[in-house]
Structure 1
Amino acid sequence: MAIEVYPNIYRHEIPLPGNPLKAIHSYFILSKDRNLIIDTGFNRKECRDAFMKGINELNIDFNKTDLLITHLHSDHSGLAAELSKEDVNVYVGKIDGKMINDMSSDEYWRRFEEYAVMFDLTKDNIAFDDHPGYKYCPKEGIEFIDLIEGDLINIGDYSFEVIDIPGHTPGHIGLYDRNHRIFFGGDHILDKITPNIAFWGFEQDILSVYFDSLKKIYQYDIDYLFSAHRNIVKNHKKRIDELLGHHKDRLNEIKEIIKDGKMSVRDIASRMNWSLRCNIWEDFPNPQKWFASGEAMSHLEHLVYTGQAEKIEDNGILYYSLKGRNE
């Protein structure tokens, strides 16, 4: 059921079956001239049916509707290709738009075979087709309208400014209306749960990038931060402080794990604390092993970038230890 959470702004919950996130919020911003939808759910029947139920409840006409994808993850972008066939304009940040189209081919996902070796996940017989991003992403290319920071999208009484907030993904974007002091932040800032900060390559310290994006949004005047999962955030500064504290604790946890010598990403992740209903690593569903290892990797690389840890490679597997303890 679509619920009005602000004048002419509706939040519609779309279930994510079998996923710990449970659901995603798709937002519908309505006006007499144009409508804007923010994010879609997975490319699977359950999400499609729920999404269309909200569309029908609100009598949304695709002929005067645009779609904005906050970032590349398939729970946000999964139905974008189908909507583009309905002549819906599909907006996305330039970086993530390219990656979404790359994800429509198996070639993109085969790099995860290299990651499985690099992370030491071959111990768990994990393959890229275990990844929900592969299963539920758009399966064909999309003709996106690329957005950059500062672009404006006007819908009725709202004037939304595109804000770059990389970290959760390399090209994550948000929408900010300065007059109404509202922000659509995708997965950048979530209440009750913490966004997964994964590994996106050795070219940058993605955890530092995320920290910078959090500090950027800290400066904004925001009364309501509409996030994609769980609750609306009404005190974004308090929540940002909590998220920064969480990652500080994560880094200290990892340093404690690797203090006695080199360990693989998978073995480090298996010793970290996770909010899952599993007591041991072997009970983790394979998708959660991917996510846990990716998050461990982003934190390990941050420790390397900041001179607190070092790494070596052996037969394609990366091993990390505290600086001066690689043995």
Structure 2
Amino acid sequence: MICLRDGIEYERGRIVLPEGMHFLQIEEAIWPASANILLIRDEDGAILVDVGCGQEQAYQKVKNFVAVQGLRIEDVHTVVLTHAHPDHVGAMRYLLQEISPRIFLHPVEIPLAAEPSRLNRTFDVTLPSRYGLGPAAPQEMDIIEYFSNVSCAMAGFTATDEIPTEGEFVLGDFSFQVIVIPGHAQGMVSLFDRDHGILFSADAVGDVVTWYSPSSGGVTEFLNGLDRLSQLPARLLLPSHGRPSKEPHNEIEKTRAAILRREERILNELVSGPVSFPDLVTRVFKNSLITVFPAPQMLQCHLDKLEMEGKVICRGEDEGWMVELV
């Protein structure tokens, strides 16, 4: 557990947050690692931005983080959740056994938090079976069960408030601009503190490039979101996964470049002729552990974009789900 406030030496220099703001960096960054957490102190106690995975060990890190600041978990009066994915909201199952805070979520994420099985749709878990990549019966795959199996469980809960998507979102002594970044989650939000130049990017930017799915907004919306982030006068990046950075615009561009390199690999694989969707998944994504999720979902996002741009043609089941260059 790395708590950032008094200052930590990183490879790119010392990082110190303003008074009243604290950051918990989880050492493991590879998905589905528990998300990093932001804590904001105010005269009433504390506000948490994200709470991490739903396992006791992860929740204990949250409690320890709060205690390091001289607070009790009972002092947390507000929770802001960047989106309703298990690695960001899972610990609510434990938190709500001890306190009854205000809970903020983007409006489109509120139903997902209340009924987590809805994530099966936004994660497009039935998409692989369409191409013969998943189980014969789509209902055999359940994203909540999947996350539980990788120690990141999630239970349903009710959000009390909607994150304002216009104007300023005031948390303690800090005033944030809310930037909605679809693609990874339809209602994922990044928070930007203009006074201090601090960008809490959620999963939009970090040490690893996150996945995206068609029903969550696709790669086009994700790239558009990165464009919006790149226009902010940010001086410090606090990601949900990975280390803080004093070069936020470089990190944003690294994420964009990684996504576009993936797209180039897709086009390169098609140069020699048509390729079936299943074969294209395994050629572009070398990790066999993601051939059912999230590789097919990401590939579909790129093919949707490339087809819209007139660069590829995707043929249907009668023609073997073939993809070819125009």
Query: Does the CA contact (< 8 Å) of 1:104 and 1:137 recur in 2?
Result: no
Q: Which residue, 200, 206, 217 being the options, matches 2:215?
A: 200
Corresponding residue of 1:65: 77
Superposed displacement of residue 155, structure 1: 3.3
Q: State the percentage of identical aligned residues.
A: 17
Asked if 1:3 corresponds to 2:4, the answer is yes
The number of residue pairs the alignment matches comes to: 307
Corresponding residue of 1:12: 24
Corresponding residue of 2:114: 101
> In structure 1, what residue type is equivalent to 2:171?
I
Asked if 1:153 corresponds to 2:153, the answer is no
Query: Does the CA contact (< 8 Å) of 2:237 and 2:248 recur in 1?
Result: yes
Superposed displacement of residue 234, structure 1: 1.9
Query: Does the CA contact (< 8 Å) of 2:178 and 2:189 recur in 1?
Result: yes
Query: Does the CA contact (< 8 Å) of 1:15 and 1:47 recur in 2?
Result: no
Question: In structure 1, what is the Cα distance between the partners aligned to 2:184 and 2:246?
Answer: 21
Query: Does the CA contact (< 8 Å) of 1:120 and 1:317 recur in 2?
Result: no
Query: Does the CA contact (< 8 Å) of 1:41 and 1:76 recur in 2?
Result: yes
> In structure 2, what residue type is equivalent to 1:180?
H
Q: 1:158 to 1:288 in 2, by over 3 A?
A: farther
The residue matched to 1:90 in structure 2 has which SS?
Answer: strand
Match runs of 1:30-45 below 5 Å: 30-45=41-56
Q: Which residue, 231, 235, 252 being the options, matches 1:223?
A: 235
Corresponding residue of 1:170: 186
Question: In structure 2, what is the Cα distance between the partners aligned to 1:115 and 1:62?
Answer: 43
Corresponding residue of 1:320: 323
Superposed displacement of residue 318, structure 1: 4.3
> In structure 1, what residue type is equivalent to 2:300?
M
Unaligned runs of 5+ in 1: none
RMSD: 3.1
TM-score (structure 1 length as normaliser)? 0.81
Corresponding residue of 2:155: 139
Unaligned runs of 5+ in 2: 6-15
Q: 1:217 to 1:110 in 2, by over 3 A?
A: closer
TM-score (structure 2 length as normaliser)? 0.81
Superposed displacement of residue 104, structure 1: 4.2
Superposed displacement of residue 60, structure 1: 3.4
The residue matched to 1:255 in structure 2 has which SS?
Answer: helix
Q: 1:315 to 1:195 in 2, by over 3 A?
A: same
Between stretches 166-175 and 125-134, larger displacement belongs to 125-134
Corresponding residue of 2:281: 269
Q: Which residue, 299, 306, 309 being the options, matches 2:309?
A: 306
Corresponding residue of 1:183: 199
> In structure 1, what residue type is equivalent to 2:170?
N
Q: Which residue, 88, 91, 99 being the options, matches 2:104?
A: 91
The residue matched to 1:121 in structure 2 has which SS?
Answer: coil
Q: 1:16 to 1:249 in 2, by over 3 A?
A: closer
The residue matched to 1:24 in structure 2 has which SS?
Answer: coil
Superposed displacement of residue 226, structure 1: 0.8
Q: 1:246 to 1:64 in 2, by over 3 A?
A: closer
Q: Which residue, 106, 110, 117 being the options, matches 2:129?
A: 117
Superposed displacement of residue 171, structure 1: 1.0
The residue matched to 1:150 in structure 2 has which SS?
Answer: coil
Superposed displacement of residue 297, structure 1: 1.8
The residue matched to 1:290 in structure 2 has which SS?
Answer: coil
Query: Does the CA contact (< 8 Å) of 1:11 and 1:25 recur in 2?
Result: yes
Query: Does the CA contact (< 8 Å) of 2:307 and 2:313 recur in 1?
Result: yes
Superposed displacement of residue 209, structure 1: 0.8
Query: Does the CA contact (< 8 Å) of 2:281 and 2:291 recur in 1?
Result: no
Q: 1:169 to 1:20 in 2, by over 3 A?
A: closer
Superposed displacement of residue 133, structure 1: 4.1
Q: 1:258 to 1:185 in 2, by over 3 A?
A: same
Match runs of 1:240-255 below 5 Å: 240-255=252-267
> In structure 2, what residue type is equivalent to 1:42?
C
